[in-house]
Amino acid sequence: MKEGWKSLAEYINIALPKGRLGEKAYDIFESIGYGCPSIREQNRKLIFENEENGVRYFWVKPSDVAVYVERGAADVGIVGKDILLEQGSDVYELLDLGIGKCRMAVAGLKGTRVHSDHTLRVATKFPNIAREYFRGQSQEIEIIKLHGSIEIAPILNMSDVIVDIVETGTTLKENNMEPLEDIVQISARLIANKAGYKFKNRQIREMCEKIAALREGKE
Ligand SMILES: Nc1ncnc2c1ncn2[C@@H]1O[C@H](COP(=O)(O)OP(=O)(O)OP(=O)(O)O)[C@@H](O)[C@H]1O
Ligand SMILES: O=P(O)(O)OC[C@H]1O[C@H](OP(=O)(O)OP(=O)(O)O)[C@H](O)[C@@H]1O
Protein backbone atom coordinates (compact mmCIF):
# COMPACT_ATOMS: atom_id res chain seq x y z
CA MET A 1 0.00 0.00 0.00
CA LYS A 2 1.25 3.51 -0.79
CA GLU A 3 2.58 5.57 2.10
CA GLY A 4 -0.26 7.61 3.64
CA TRP A 5 -3.04 5.63 1.94
CA LYS A 6 -5.65 4.07 4.15
CA SER A 7 -6.71 0.44 4.52
CA LEU A 8 -10.45 -0.26 4.09
CA ALA A 9 -10.96 -0.72 7.84
CA GLU A 10 -9.62 2.78 8.40
CA TYR A 11 -12.07 4.44 5.99
CA ILE A 12 -14.53 6.88 7.48
CA ASN A 13 -17.98 6.31 5.96
CA ILE A 14 -20.04 9.48 5.83
CA ALA A 15 -23.79 9.72 5.11
CA LEU A 16 -24.64 13.05 3.47
CA PRO A 17 -28.23 14.31 3.11
CA LYS A 18 -29.32 14.91 -0.48
CA GLY A 19 -31.12 18.19 -0.98
CA ARG A 20 -30.83 21.55 0.68
CA LEU A 21 -28.23 20.53 3.33
CA GLY A 22 -26.09 18.35 1.06
CA GLU A 23 -23.70 20.84 -0.57
CA LYS A 24 -23.10 22.76 2.65
CA ALA A 25 -22.48 19.52 4.51
CA TYR A 26 -19.94 18.33 1.96
CA ASP A 27 -18.27 21.79 1.92
CA ILE A 28 -17.51 21.35 5.62
CA PHE A 29 -15.74 18.03 5.06
CA GLU A 30 -13.85 19.40 2.07
CA SER A 31 -12.67 22.44 4.07
CA ILE A 32 -11.12 20.22 6.74
CA GLY A 33 -9.21 18.04 4.27
CA TYR A 34 -11.64 15.17 3.59
CA GLY A 35 -12.31 16.19 0.01
CA CYS A 36 -13.45 13.79 -2.66
CA PRO A 37 -13.42 15.80 -5.93
CA SER A 38 -15.48 13.27 -7.91
CA ILE A 39 -18.49 14.11 -5.72
CA ARG A 40 -18.82 17.44 -7.55
CA GLU A 41 -19.44 15.67 -10.86
CA GLN A 42 -23.06 15.90 -12.00
CA ASN A 43 -24.12 12.28 -12.21
CA ARG A 44 -26.43 9.77 -10.55
CA LYS A 45 -23.77 7.98 -8.52
CA LEU A 46 -24.59 7.61 -4.83
CA ILE A 47 -21.25 6.45 -3.42
CA PHE A 48 -17.97 8.33 -3.77
CA GLU A 49 -14.64 7.51 -2.23
CA ASN A 50 -11.20 9.04 -1.96
CA GLU A 51 -8.63 6.42 -1.10
CA GLU A 52 -5.97 8.99 -0.34
CA ASN A 53 -8.06 10.76 2.32
CA GLY A 54 -9.66 7.52 3.52
CA VAL A 55 -13.24 8.75 3.14
CA ARG A 56 -16.32 7.28 1.53
CA TYR A 57 -19.49 9.34 1.06
CA PHE A 58 -23.07 8.10 0.59
CA TRP A 59 -25.83 10.41 -0.67
CA VAL A 60 -29.03 9.41 1.11
CA LYS A 61 -32.45 10.94 1.77
CA PRO A 62 -32.25 13.41 4.68
CA SER A 63 -34.72 11.36 6.71
CA ASP A 64 -32.61 8.21 6.19
CA VAL A 65 -29.23 9.59 7.36
CA ALA A 66 -29.73 8.58 10.99
CA VAL A 67 -30.85 5.09 9.93
CA TYR A 68 -27.58 4.48 8.04
CA VAL A 69 -25.60 5.77 11.02
CA GLU A 70 -27.60 3.91 13.67
CA ARG A 71 -27.10 0.63 11.79
CA GLY A 72 -23.38 1.25 11.29
CA ALA A 73 -23.52 1.39 7.49
CA ALA A 74 -22.11 4.90 7.94
CA ASP A 75 -19.76 5.90 10.77
CA VAL A 76 -20.91 9.52 10.79
CA GLY A 77 -23.59 11.59 9.13
CA ILE A 78 -25.11 15.03 8.92
CA VAL A 79 -28.77 15.36 9.80
CA GLY A 80 -31.28 17.96 10.96
CA LYS A 81 -32.18 17.97 14.65
CA ASP A 82 -35.82 17.64 13.54
CA ILE A 83 -35.10 14.17 12.19
CA LEU A 84 -33.24 13.12 15.34
CA LEU A 85 -36.11 14.27 17.55
CA GLU A 86 -38.73 12.66 15.34
CA GLN A 87 -36.95 9.32 14.99
CA GLY A 88 -35.43 9.15 18.50
CA SER A 89 -32.25 7.88 16.86
CA ASP A 90 -29.81 5.93 19.03
CA VAL A 91 -26.63 7.70 17.87
CA TYR A 92 -24.09 10.08 19.35
CA GLU A 93 -24.74 13.71 18.55
CA LEU A 94 -21.23 15.14 18.28
CA LEU A 95 -21.55 18.71 17.01
CA ASP A 96 -24.04 21.41 16.15
CA LEU A 97 -22.86 22.48 12.69
CA GLY A 98 -24.73 25.80 12.62
CA ILE A 99 -26.17 25.14 9.15
CA GLY A 100 -29.77 24.36 8.21
CA LYS A 101 -31.02 26.71 10.89
CA CYS A 102 -34.79 26.91 11.23
CA ARG A 103 -37.42 26.20 13.85
CA MET A 104 -40.26 23.74 14.40
CA ALA A 105 -43.52 25.56 14.97
CA VAL A 106 -47.27 25.24 15.21
CA ALA A 107 -48.81 27.35 12.45
CA GLY A 108 -52.27 28.00 11.10
CA LEU A 109 -54.46 30.35 9.13
CA LYS A 110 -54.32 33.87 10.54
CA GLY A 111 -56.23 34.14 13.82
CA THR A 112 -56.43 30.37 14.49
CA ARG A 113 -56.79 29.45 18.18
CA VAL A 114 -54.55 26.53 19.11
CA HIS A 115 -56.04 25.55 22.45
CA SER A 116 -59.65 24.49 22.98
CA ASP A 117 -61.76 21.67 24.45
CA HIS A 118 -62.09 20.15 20.98
CA THR A 119 -59.66 17.67 19.47
CA LEU A 120 -57.21 19.67 17.36
CA ARG A 121 -56.50 18.28 13.89
CA VAL A 122 -52.74 18.56 13.28
CA ALA A 123 -51.24 18.00 9.83
CA THR A 124 -47.52 17.22 9.95
CA LYS A 125 -44.51 15.31 8.69
CA PHE A 126 -43.42 15.07 12.35
CA PRO A 127 -46.11 13.13 14.30
CA ASN A 128 -43.85 12.26 17.26
CA ILE A 129 -42.67 15.84 17.78
CA ALA A 130 -46.27 17.07 17.48
CA ARG A 131 -47.65 14.44 19.90
CA GLU A 132 -44.95 15.17 22.47
CA TYR A 133 -45.52 18.92 22.24
CA PHE A 134 -49.29 18.81 22.60
CA ARG A 135 -49.09 16.18 25.37
CA GLY A 136 -47.08 18.74 27.31
CA GLN A 137 -49.87 21.26 26.66
CA SER A 138 -52.62 18.78 27.66
CA GLN A 139 -54.25 19.42 24.28
CA GLU A 140 -56.06 16.49 22.63
CA ILE A 141 -55.02 16.09 19.00
CA GLU A 142 -55.60 13.99 15.94
CA ILE A 143 -52.54 13.58 13.71
CA ILE A 144 -52.85 13.79 9.93
CA LYS A 145 -49.55 12.47 8.59
CA LEU A 146 -48.37 14.11 5.36
CA HIS A 147 -45.04 14.06 3.52
CA GLY A 148 -44.79 17.63 2.18
CA SER A 149 -46.71 20.79 1.22
CA ILE A 150 -48.16 20.64 4.73
CA GLU A 151 -49.37 24.25 4.51
CA ILE A 152 -52.20 23.20 2.19
CA ALA A 153 -54.00 21.19 4.87
CA PRO A 154 -55.57 24.08 6.86
CA ILE A 155 -56.44 25.96 3.65
CA LEU A 156 -58.56 23.00 2.57
CA ASN A 157 -59.91 22.64 6.13
CA MET A 158 -58.35 19.20 6.34
CA SER A 159 -56.58 20.27 9.55
CA ASP A 160 -56.86 23.06 12.13
CA VAL A 161 -53.10 23.65 12.40
CA ILE A 162 -49.81 22.29 11.11
CA VAL A 163 -46.57 21.41 12.87
CA ASP A 164 -43.77 22.14 10.44
CA ILE A 165 -40.42 23.78 9.82
CA VAL A 166 -40.32 27.55 9.52
CA GLU A 167 -37.23 29.33 8.28
CA THR A 168 -37.97 32.72 6.69
CA GLY A 169 -41.75 32.42 7.18
CA THR A 170 -42.31 33.04 3.47
CA THR A 171 -44.24 29.82 2.82
CA LEU A 172 -46.63 30.61 5.66
CA LYS A 173 -47.09 34.23 4.59
CA GLU A 174 -47.73 33.38 0.97
CA ASN A 175 -50.44 30.96 2.06
CA ASN A 176 -52.18 33.40 4.39
CA MET A 177 -50.87 31.63 7.47
CA GLU A 178 -48.82 32.60 10.51
CA PRO A 179 -46.62 30.92 13.11
CA LEU A 180 -48.64 30.43 16.29
CA GLU A 181 -46.28 28.73 18.75
CA ASP A 182 -42.59 27.83 18.55
CA ILE A 183 -41.69 24.28 19.55
CA VAL A 184 -37.91 23.97 19.17
CA GLN A 185 -34.93 25.49 17.35
CA ILE A 186 -33.42 23.25 14.66
CA SER A 187 -29.98 23.01 13.03
CA ALA A 188 -27.88 20.31 11.40
CA ARG A 189 -25.89 17.96 13.62
CA LEU A 190 -22.86 15.71 13.10
CA ILE A 191 -23.85 12.29 14.41
CA ALA A 192 -21.86 9.08 14.89
CA ASN A 193 -22.60 5.38 15.21
CA LYS A 194 -22.02 4.35 18.84
CA ALA A 195 -19.79 1.33 18.13
CA GLY A 196 -17.99 3.09 15.27
CA TYR A 197 -17.19 5.96 17.62
CA LYS A 198 -15.34 3.50 19.85
CA PHE A 199 -13.48 1.64 17.09
CA LYS A 200 -12.61 4.69 15.01
CA ASN A 201 -12.33 7.02 17.97
CA ARG A 202 -9.08 8.69 16.93
CA GLN A 203 -10.23 9.44 13.38
CA ILE A 204 -13.71 10.63 14.40
CA ARG A 205 -12.40 12.84 17.22
CA GLU A 206 -9.80 14.32 14.87
CA MET A 207 -12.59 15.08 12.39
CA CYS A 208 -14.71 16.72 15.12
CA GLU A 209 -11.82 18.85 16.31
CA LYS A 210 -11.17 20.08 12.78
CA ILE A 211 -14.85 20.92 12.23
CA ALA A 212 -15.05 22.68 15.60
CA ALA A 213 -11.91 24.70 14.75
CA LEU A 214 -13.38 25.61 11.36
CA ARG A 215 -16.57 26.82 13.05
CA GLU A 216 -14.64 28.86 15.62
CA GLY A 217 -12.64 30.49 12.82
CA LYS A 218 -15.90 31.53 11.15
CA GLU A 219 -17.58 32.96 14.26
N1 LIG B 1 -36.84 25.80 4.94
C2 LIG B 1 -35.80 25.30 5.58
N3 LIG B 1 -34.82 26.07 5.98
C4 LIG B 1 -33.74 25.59 6.62
N5 LIG B 1 -33.57 24.31 6.94
C6 LIG B 1 -34.52 23.50 6.57
C7 LIG B 1 -35.67 23.94 5.87
N8 LIG B 1 -36.43 22.88 5.61
C9 LIG B 1 -35.75 21.84 6.12
N10 LIG B 1 -34.62 22.22 6.71
C11 LIG B 1 -33.60 21.38 7.37
O12 LIG B 1 -32.92 20.67 6.34
C13 LIG B 1 -33.13 19.27 6.47
C14 LIG B 1 -33.30 18.66 5.09
O15 LIG B 1 -34.41 19.25 4.46
P16 LIG B 1 -34.83 18.89 2.97
O17 LIG B 1 -35.99 19.78 2.65
O18 LIG B 1 -33.63 18.87 2.10
O19 LIG B 1 -35.28 17.39 3.12
P20 LIG B 1 -36.70 16.72 3.05
O21 LIG B 1 -37.24 16.86 1.68
O22 LIG B 1 -37.49 17.24 4.21
O23 LIG B 1 -36.28 15.20 3.35
P24 LIG B 1 -36.98 13.81 2.96
O25 LIG B 1 -37.01 13.80 1.45
O26 LIG B 1 -36.05 12.78 3.55
O27 LIG B 1 -38.33 13.89 3.62
C28 LIG B 1 -34.36 19.15 7.38
O29 LIG B 1 -34.32 17.92 8.10
C30 LIG B 1 -34.23 20.35 8.29
O31 LIG B 1 -33.34 20.07 9.35
O1 LIG C 1 -40.15 29.48 6.23
P2 LIG C 1 -39.69 29.13 4.83
O3 LIG C 1 -38.37 29.75 4.51
O4 LIG C 1 -40.72 29.40 3.79
O5 LIG C 1 -39.37 27.54 4.84
C6 LIG C 1 -40.30 26.63 5.35
C7 LIG C 1 -40.69 25.62 4.33
O8 LIG C 1 -39.55 24.84 3.97
C9 LIG C 1 -39.87 23.45 4.11
O10 LIG C 1 -40.50 22.97 2.97
P11 LIG C 1 -39.76 22.31 1.72
O12 LIG C 1 -39.24 23.38 0.84
O13 LIG C 1 -38.74 21.33 2.23
O14 LIG C 1 -40.94 21.58 0.99
P15 LIG C 1 -41.94 20.44 1.46
O16 LIG C 1 -43.27 21.08 1.40
O17 LIG C 1 -41.76 19.35 0.47
O18 LIG C 1 -41.59 19.99 2.88
C19 LIG C 1 -40.90 23.46 5.23
O20 LIG C 1 -41.68 22.27 5.22
C21 LIG C 1 -41.73 24.69 4.94
O22 LIG C 1 -42.76 24.45 4.02
3-state secondary structure the chain: CCCCCCCHHHCEEEEEECCCCHHHHHHHHHHCCCCCHHHHCCCCCCEEEECCCCEEEEEECHHHHHHHHHCCCCCEEEEEHHHHHHHCCCCEEEEECCCCCEEEEEEEECCCCCCCCCCEEEEECCHHHHHHHHHHCCCCEEEEECCCCCCHHHHCCCCCEEEEEECCCHHHHHCCEEEEEEEEEECEEEEECHHHHHHCHHHHHHHHHHHHHHHHHHC
pLDDT at residue 217 in the model: 83
Condensed to tens digits (0 to 9), the pLDDT of residues 91-122 reads: 999 999 999 999 999 999 999 999 989 999 99
Query: How many other C-beta atoms are found inside a 10 Å radius of the C-beta of residue 201?
Result: 11
Grade residue 1 by pLDDT with cuts at 50, 70 and 90. Answer: very low
Q: Which CATH fold would you assign to the domain 8-100+187-218?
A: D-Maltodextrin-Binding Protein; domain 2 (3.40.190)
Grade residue 78 by pLDDT with cuts at 50, 70 and 90. Answer: very high
Q: Which ligand is nearest to the CA of 23?
A: 1
Q: How far is the CA of 31 from the centre of ligand 2 (A)?
A: 28
The ipTM (two decimal places) reads 0.96
pLDDT at residue 10 in the model: 78
pLDDT at residue 7 in the model: 60
Please say whether the structural domain 102-185 has been given the CATH code 3.40.190.10.
Answer: yes
Which atom, in ligand 2's list, is nearest to the CA of 170?
A: 4
The chain-wide mean pLDDT, for the chain, equals 94
Same fold, 8-100+187-218 and 102-185: yes
Q: Which ligand is nearest to the CA of 25?
A: 1
Condensed to tens digits (0 to 9), the pLDDT of residues 131-159 reads: 999 999 999 999 999 999 999 999 999 99
83 lines ligand 1 (CB under 6 A): yes
- Domains of the chain, by residue range, sit at 8-100+187-218, 102-185
Select the more confidently predicted residue: 9 or 201: 201
